[in-house]
Structure 1
Amino acid sequence: MAVGFLCLFGAVHHIYTYIQIKVCRVLTMVQEKNDGINKNMVLPPIQQNRPALSWELKIKKKLKTVPPCLGKFRPIVGQCCHQCTPDSLRKKLGQNSSLGFHNLLSVNETHTRYRGWLVRRVCCALFVSGCKVYVSPVRNRLERVCQSNRVKEAFTAEHKASEGGDSRGQINRLSPFLPLINTCIAPGLLRFVGWVMLKMLASVFGSIEVNLNHLSALHRATQEGSLLVYVHVRQSIMDCALISLVLFCCNLRVPYTVCPLQINSSFLRSILQKVGVVLLPPSALTEQDAEMDSLYAPVVTSLVRELLHEGQAISVGVSAESGQGGQWLARVRQLIKEGSVPDVSLVPVGISYDCVPKTNIQVDVGLSSVMQWLWSLLWRRPGGSVRIHLAQPFSLKEMCESGRCRVDEWLPLQDLLLPVILNRTDSLFGRRRMSWLLLSSHYASELIEPTHPERDLSIAIILHLIFSATSCMAVMSTSLVSSLLLYRHRKGVSASLLCRDVAWLTEELLFRNKDVGFGGSLVEVVHYSLCLLAPHLIIAAAPSKKDPFIVPRPSLVATLHLTLQAQIVTHTFILEVVGACAVSAMLCEVASSGVSSRVRSDGVDGDEVKGDMEFDVVLCQSELTERALQLCHLLPPGFMPPCQSSQSFALDAIDSLVRCGILIMEESPRDVPICDFWKKEGALTWTTTDDPYHSDSDCEEQDLRSYKISQPSQCPEMLFFLCSMLAGHLRALCWTTTGLDHLHTPLPEAEFAAQIHSHLCDTANKKKQHYESCSEEAAHTTVRTLIDLGVLSEERQKGGVFLGISPLFQLSENRQKLHRFISQYLYN
């Protein structure tokens, strides 16, 4: 009956789709061949805000002279960390060779067991009906949750229930959480929702490409009974739907998805809770509000325990800016520590969009807003594509118990940087502690000390998963073009020069083992990206010139869109970015101090400069490494690998500049070579072997390495390109520091962040540039950094957390020192 209804509905929908395709074929001008990196991938048709036909023809005519040279191979991404989880990496559950990609939206009769004219028209319904659905029984889950020790202790602490087991008081107190506990997966409804999602997403995206490399590892893990927890970085509410749809279409267990939205409609809530979506309680608007309930954390932790005991999979999204979602991973970690769950396999998931979909659904969702959004999707043509990478699963127990994920060097940010900023002592070695990545939950209150090692270990796991999921994300063509236009050609670039840089940057990405989410000739890729980004660009195509000129729009919306798309490129080049900012800081110091162009350490002063400073500067390795190390502490979470020390990361940042040709190593002139055993002519120096104060090596002096900037005529452009990638974050810190005088503190944390965001927007509007520094994410990251740095103090009151300026930085002199310290890394 259900299949017949689906077939009838599919036939009606096919007529509508057939008419829509006929119209799209007339309007679209993008070729759908692929002869580049990935022959299985086809560029979807361009749909939104199509630019004028004149510049399209000029660009395509100009680009036809450029050969398709986007590379010959595709790197394999998503493997386990060789340092934290070597045993999981050694299992080699997945295949090492590239298996290609599968487009979820290209469903045809070959995906079914039947053939024929009618089958081709209802193949999507037949495909969905043939997908495997794992049984998800609820049974006595409510009783098991009530009998858990956590919930009993929470009831006892509240004095809401009697001491003897079940009671009506317990059930009444648990009534807001009953829908969460009774969340299940109904097979029939899941198939119907899967069919609707395939049809709906076909109106949103041109293609949904899934990397097949690690699917065999997930299938084997499922057969062996491993408990899987999928983790992704939150970008849109589409993330949750895409992960569940991918697993459903690949015959894997559909996970219970943690949704951070508050759904008001009871009809929508009932549907979502029957397809495995774990929603917030009706009384809470945000996750932080839910965590304030003393009973929420014990109930949810017990629910996670019961789901894992049932063999269910879980999907969790983590926010790198606010840390929301990390408490779910902390609960899983706590269950493993207690022995309630033997082990789980974590699977980072990287989701890349050509354009992140604007859902216009933030926190409070009603039925009318969802229906309006769905109705708008029916009248738009598909545009943009999605690339999904499922990484290799790794053992959480191995990471925690092996001791390889170390947190003993973690220190507060003010201990790491305040001595340097205030010119007191040298900087300390260590990593920045980010305790705010765990919300103020019951789990956090169990660990009384904020520097508890178990809490730090949970935060390290969250950081590791954020970094792993980000590393899995492919660089889309729009991200690549946005990065070039925003950071290298801010004042505009011709189409031919842009094509040359696209080919160069693609090779650099592949060289760094970063996958790209596009394929085809250079003509297709550049034209496709410019069409998607056209609303945020100014494209001048004069009739007398054959080469169009492309400029990013100097507006807030356009700049923030390009910045969001270019973030993944910044993640890929973060080593070079940190090293370039360190070089820029030393060059600025040379230019401002008026000393010689040769910079050395250990008290070696240079000659006086007469006239303009030469660009031929020698930079000391120790100073460069120290500047890079200090900048590492200011990076937002997710940029640095958490299993690597800050010192090692800073050294790698300097070495990366040598590898990419910006720096060349220069030997320091010495009277005696380092390895010269003849300290005096005709004489050797001998030492006794039992002398503990002497070494048998004559290389007692420290090797003083220095670097010189290579190719002064060409290198500054590359150096400034790298420095620009981090300029938005650093500039937001500088503007916030100078704007603290205009705030009347203390203020609630949310209001404080809103006023900082308003101040950043006003500053950018006055300057009419640097709009990338005034996003909401930049404001939240800046506020959190200043709290960790000790500039802002937290006061917990009944109304929540209030922020004020600390007494140390109420002095304008200290704020100026902080501003100088941050602004030294801004090249301009």
Structure 2
Amino acid sequence: MDTMLEARLQTQQRNTQNTQETSLWSSGFGMKLETVTPFLGKYRPFVGRCCQTCTPKSWESLFHRSIMDLGFCNVILVKEENTRFRGWLVRRLCYFLWSLEQHIPPCRDAPQKIIENTGVQNVISGRVPAGAGEGQVPGLAKKEVQRILGHLQAPLCPFLLRLFSWALLRFLNCVFLNVQLHKGQMKMVHKAAQAQGLPLVFLSTHKSLLDGILLPFVLFSQGLGVLRVAWDPRTCSPALRALLKKLGGLFLPPEANLTLDSSEGVLARAVVHAAIEQLLVTRQPLLIFLEELPGAQGPRLSALGQTWLGLVVQAVQVGVVPDAMLVPVAITYDLVPDAPCDVFHALAPLGLWTGALAVLRSLRSWGHSPRVCVRVHLAQPFSLQEYTINARSCWGSRQTLEQLLQPIVLGQCTVVPDTEKEQDWTPATGLLLALKEEDQLLVRRLSRHVLNASVTSSAVMSTAIMATLLLFKHQKGVFLSQLLGEFSWLTEETLLRGFDVGFSGQLRCLVQHTLSLLQAHVALLHVQQGDLLVVPRLGPGLTHLARLSAELLPAFLSEAVGACAVRGLLAGRVPPEGPWELQGIELLSQNELYRQILLLLHLLPQDLLLLQPCQSSYCYCQEVLDRLIQCGLLVAEETPGSRPACDTGRQRLSAKLLWKPSGDFTDSDSDDFEEAEGRYFRLSQQSRCPDFFLFLCRLLSPLLKAFAQAATFLHQGQLPDTELGYTEQLLQFLQANAQEEGFFECADPNLAISAIWTFRDLGVLQQTPSPAGPMLYLSPTFTSRENQEKLEQFIRQFICS
């Protein structure tokens, strides 16, 4: 009886709490807050400058000087002023009239010109090895070319384009609060296209299936014409592909990925090359997604995106067009509109009926759920020809992760090799393998370079800032009054690091809007003091917050790497739970810091770091050290009894230099100075430093903890197994640990896959082909429990509790 009474009381309390929480969301938190003046708008950094090392001419000439003087526009806000007509009827039909006034450039005789292309004709006539002319009638070959071309693209339908633009405009106004675009960025792209007279190739990040429809609409509405969008055929059903091709979609034929000696593959590749050449010659803008869809199993860089980019690079190299202007593009959402797909299963193709039902569901929920904001970013255009010439000089020697890191993990070596890490998880498609090896390397590095520019130019949305605060600073809850101040603090820190934010307005309204978007993962509770307690929900809610917080990581990545490296350096000297004052006593030499930063850089996946290929790891180490000094975490310290590092007047000259004959310049004078002692640093003792240091370390904790738990799982997992099977095993282990220890942010399929692939590159796991797919098994070196523990200890030294 007592048990039943207790259960009934708990149920009543839970229902009362849920009722109070529901009333809080519906009443705007139910408390009065002071109105805060807008804290944005005074300083907004310019983002998206192209690389000065690889494209110095573009950096100087294609930059719009008055870009910051222009504001933002809401692309989906179409009024009577956007049409040539006025009146009460126009105000009700402005969407329809606006769609009628959009200019659609004609594109005539494109299929015939592709068939008459020299490369296609050489394959048909058999003048190319494995060509279609060997034993095949030219008339049949021409029909085969038309079939492949029909699979690749279709003629544009102006009526369908205008109808779709009108319907999409109404849909976007129902689903989104706004779609913001910087008018200065748009003007910069227009000026570059007009001044150079070259085709535009937009290279974008990929956050949602809606990107392939939203981005062409945004750029079409700004007068750039109809974009040709390179779609992934796996994501669309045949009926949807037919519709998208009429709207400008491009789909790679499956024959193009056949072996290099296949006659069907040779013909399909020739048709694809001819179609891309025709697009560039007629200056039709092209949109390529460089990222895989979120939730898809695989690397961050898209193999299909690299394939399309390789086609553009080859067309410029053979002289079809003298050059092409590459424009990095990024798109960010408060919340991604479509749900993430299951990472362990193939993406189900989206059909017409499925898409229509999703649209109806979105319209039906309109008014019941808060609408999200979208921001589209256009970085500075740059010349592909200029990048191709300059980038080749930045290529140096590289080694695998196994060569670089395994001897240090096992304690066999202490010196980090002076070379870069070679790590590429993106498989090469048939079209990319048809290029020369040097051109394949150029495409891979160009893809990483452009994706780095796109991510750097992405604005940080309010949900990413809120998720970071709740997950890494206040996982046990925080008062709303304190949360307001910390939201403002983290926003200013983001702006000071050269990253833009995708919101503005009054602080109270921003926080209320952000919490309402996250209400499925956040609970609001009344307290006696009249304040509100904001508590993140345990379980999958923390995993979702971790995915949102990853959008903020690029802004603090350098400091986070440096803080974890400092933690690793102090791990063997000071207990992790030791007081901050005790940790600040230790002297940290510059060489030791460089070594720890390099070790962590080698351990972290390349898809996370996205370092520019023209930037060496040692330059990045210096950047990390400079950032730690600038943010006040490290303070320079002279060692007792040593000469100050800036004192160059008392450097003694060697006898060799003193007696050198005049005019002898065979060696540098600087080589004969006595080598100055290394610099030393201490942790700052300012009151804010301990909290900020922990905050930076925790930004990388989901990934590092997942890696450490994957090392623990090595002696528990069932090997050999397929890669998919072992990933499921590891994910179940991470989820079980999350239930016991509360680290739900680590129970992410993407982190499990990253851990397995990193261990494969490190030589912990080895892979052999089999009929069921690649089989994984433990390498002989790591079958011993001792070496497994060494690997786990190596990873855990960078983790700060």
TM-score, structure 2 normalization: 0.86
Q: SS in structure 2 opposite 1:72?
A: coil
Match of 1:256 in 2: 228
Matches of 1:351 and 1:309, distance apart in 2: 28
Distance 1:209 1:202 in 2: 12
Hey, what does 1:791 align to over in structure 2? 764
Question: Is residue 567 from structure 1 mapped to residue 555 from structure 2 by the alignment?
Answer: no
Asked if 2 retains the 8 angstrom alpha-carbon contact of 1:55 and 1:541, the reply is: no
Secondary structure of residue in 2 paired with 1:644: coil
- Verify the 8 A CA contact 1:228 1:313 in the aligned structure 2: yes
Matches of 1:794 and 1:685, distance apart in 2: 56
Give the residue type in structure 2 aligned to 1:779.
A
1:84 equivalenced with 2:54 (yes/no):
yes
Q: Does 1:619 align with 2:588?
A: yes
Given that residues 264 and 282 in structure 1 are in contact (C-alpha distance below 8 angstroms), is that contact kept between their aligned partners in structure 2? no
Check whether the contact 2:229–2:288 (CA below 8 A) recurs between aligned residues: yes
| 2:426 paired residue number | 437
Could you tell me how far 1:360 is from its partner in structure 2?
6.5
1:722 counterpart (693, 696, 701): 696
- How is 1:157-556 mapped onto 2 (pairs within 5 angstroms)? 161-162=133-134, 166-168=138-140, 171-172=143-144, 177-223=148-194, 224-262=196-234, 265-279=237-251, 281=253, 294=265, 297=269, 299-319=271-291, 321-324=299-302, 325-358=305-338, 362-381=347-366, 383-403=371-391, 406-425=394-413, 426-444=415-433, 446-447=435-436, 452-542=437-527, 544-556=528-540
What is the letter of the counterpart of residue 652 of structure 1?
A: E
Q: Report the CA distance shift for 1:93/1:130 in structure 2 as closer, same or farther (over 3 A).
A: farther
**Matches of 2:596 and 2:490, distance apart in 1:** 27
2:604 to 630, 635, 639: 635
Matched residues in 1 for 2:723 and 2:32: separation? 53
Cα distance between partner residues in 2 of 1:752 and 1:127: 54
Q: Check the 8 A contact 1:330/1:458 in 2, yes or no.
A: yes
Q: Could you tell me whether the CA contact under 8 Å between 1:66 and 1:523 is conserved in 2?
A: yes
Look up the equivalent residue of 2:425 and give its one-letter code.
W
Q: Percent identity?
A: 31
Q: Relative to structure 1, is the Cα distance of residues 264 and 568 closer, same or farther in structure 2, using a 3 angstrom cutoff?
A: closer
CA distance in structure 2 between the aligned counterparts of 1:463 and 1:710, rounded to whole angstroms: 36
Displacement after TM superposition at 1:434 (Å): 2.8
Quote the offset at 1:560 in angstroms: 2.6
Is the contact between residue 399 and residue 405 of structure 1 (CA under 8 Å) also seen in structure 2? no
Q: 1:74 to 1:157 in 2, by over 3 A?
A: same
- The aligned amino acid for 2:223 is N
Gaps of 5+ in 2: 1-18, 293-298, 342-346
User: By how many angstroms is 1:96 displaced?
Assistant: 3.2
1:697 shift after superposition: 9.2
Contact 1:203 1:380 in 2 (8 A): no
Give me the whole-angstrom Cα distance separating, in 1, the residues matched to 2:124 and 2:603.
43
Give the TM-score, by structure 1 length: 0.83
Give me the whole-angstrom Cα distance separating, in 2, the residues matched to 1:792 and 1:731: 19
How far 1:533 sits from its partner (Å)? 0.9
User: Structure 1 pair 359/733, CA: closer, same or farther in 2 (3 Å)?
Assistant: closer
**TM superposition shift of 1:742:** 3.9
Alignment RMSD (CA, Å): 3.5
Structure 1 residues 658 and 289, CA gap change in structure 2 (3 angstroms): farther
Q: Report deviation, 1:264.
A: 6.1
Task: Tell me whether 139-148 or 334-343 shows the greater mean CA deviation.
Answer: 139-148
Determine the C-alpha separation between the residues in 2 that align with 1:150 and 1:809. Answer: 54
User: Partner letter of residue 389 of structure 2?
Assistant: E
Flag the 1:671–1:69 CA change in 2: closer, same or farther, 3 A: closer
* Contact 1:232–1:317 (CA under 8 A) maintained in structure 2: yes
For the residues of structure 1 that align with 2:667 and 2:357, how far apart are their CA atoms?
Answer: 80
Distance 2:265 2:717 in 1: 34
CA apart distance, 1:480 = 1.0
Q: CA contact under 8 A between 1:591 and 1:613: conserved in structure 2?
A: yes
- The letter of the residue matching 2:432 is Y
Counterpart Cα distance in 2 of 1:745 and 1:290: 35
Stretch deviating more after TM superposition (139-148 or 205-214):
139-148
Which consecutive unaligned segments of at least 5 residues does structure 1 have? 1-48, 599-611
Q: Which amino acid aligns with 1:623?
A: E
Against the structure 1 CA distance between its residues 94 and 697, is the aligned structure 2 distance closer, same or farther, given a 3 Å change threshold? closer
Q: SS of the counterpart of 1:434?
A: coil
The residue number in structure 2 matching 1:817 is 790
Whether the aligned pair in 1 keeps the contact of 2:200 and 2:326 (CA below 8 Å) is yes
What CA distance in whole angstroms lies between the structure 1 residues aligned with 2:670 and 2:350? Answer: 73
Structure-2 separation of matches of 1:817 and 1:298? 52
Contact 1:463 1:638 (C-alpha < 8 Å) held by counterparts: no
Residues 819 and 696 of structure 1: CA distance in aligned 2, closer, same or farther (over 3 Å):
closer
Asked if the contact 1:491/1:551 (under 8 Å) is kept, the reply is yes
| 2:573 equivalent in structure 1 | 590
1:127 aligned partner: 98
Q: Give CA deviations for 1:402-434 in whole Å, capped at 9, x if unaligned.
A: 246622133222222122212223111233223
Q: Is the 1:51–1:531 Cα contact (8 Å) retained in structure 2?
A: no
CA spacing shift, 1:699–1:195, aligned 2, 3 Å: same
Separation in 2 of the partners of 1:205 and 1:528?
A: 13
Aligned-pair distance for 1:187?
A: 1.8
8 Å contact 1:466–1:638 — kept in the other structure? no
CA–CA separation in structure 1 for the residues paired with 2:32 and 2:438: 60
Contact residue 47 and residue 498 of structure 2 kept, 8 A = yes
Alignment partner of 1:143 is 2:132: no
Superposed displacement of residue 718, structure 1? 0.6
Kindly provide the amino acid, as one letter, of the partner of residue 531 in structure 2: D
Q: CA deviation at 1:660?
A: 0.5
Range with greater deviation from structure 2 (269-278 or 332-341): 332-341
Check 1:813–1:300 CA distance in 2 against 1; reply closer, same or farther (3 A cut).
Answer: farther
Q: Does 1:663 align with 2:634?
A: yes
Check the 8 A contact 1:155/1:170 in 2, yes or no. Answer: no
Aligned residues: 753
- Contact 2:228–2:284 under 8 Å retained in 1: yes
User: Equivalents in 1 of 2:219, 2:234: separation in Å?
Assistant: 25
Q: Which runs of structure 2 are paired with 1:28-47 in the superposition (5 Å)?
A: none
Tell me by how many angstroms 1:593 deviates: 11
For the 8 Å contact 2:24–2:524, the answer to whether it is kept is no
The answer as to whether partners of 1:297 and 1:443 remain within 8 angstroms in 2 is: no
Give how far 1:653 is off. Answer: 0.6
Map Cα deviations across residues 563-593 of structure 1 (whole Å, 9 max, x no partner). Answer: 2221221111111011111111112121269
**817 and 157 in structure 1: CA distance in 2 versus 1, 3 angstrom threshold:** farther
Tell me the equivalent position of 2:749.
776
Paired position in structure 2 for 1:710: 684
Q: Helix, strand or coil for the counterpart of 1:435?
A: coil
Whether the 8 Å contact between 2:153 and 2:248 is mirrored in structure 1 is no
Q: Deviations over 1:733-790 (max 9, x none)?
A: 22222223344444444444444334333332343x2222222322332233223222
* Contact preservation (8 Å) 1:662, 1:709: yes
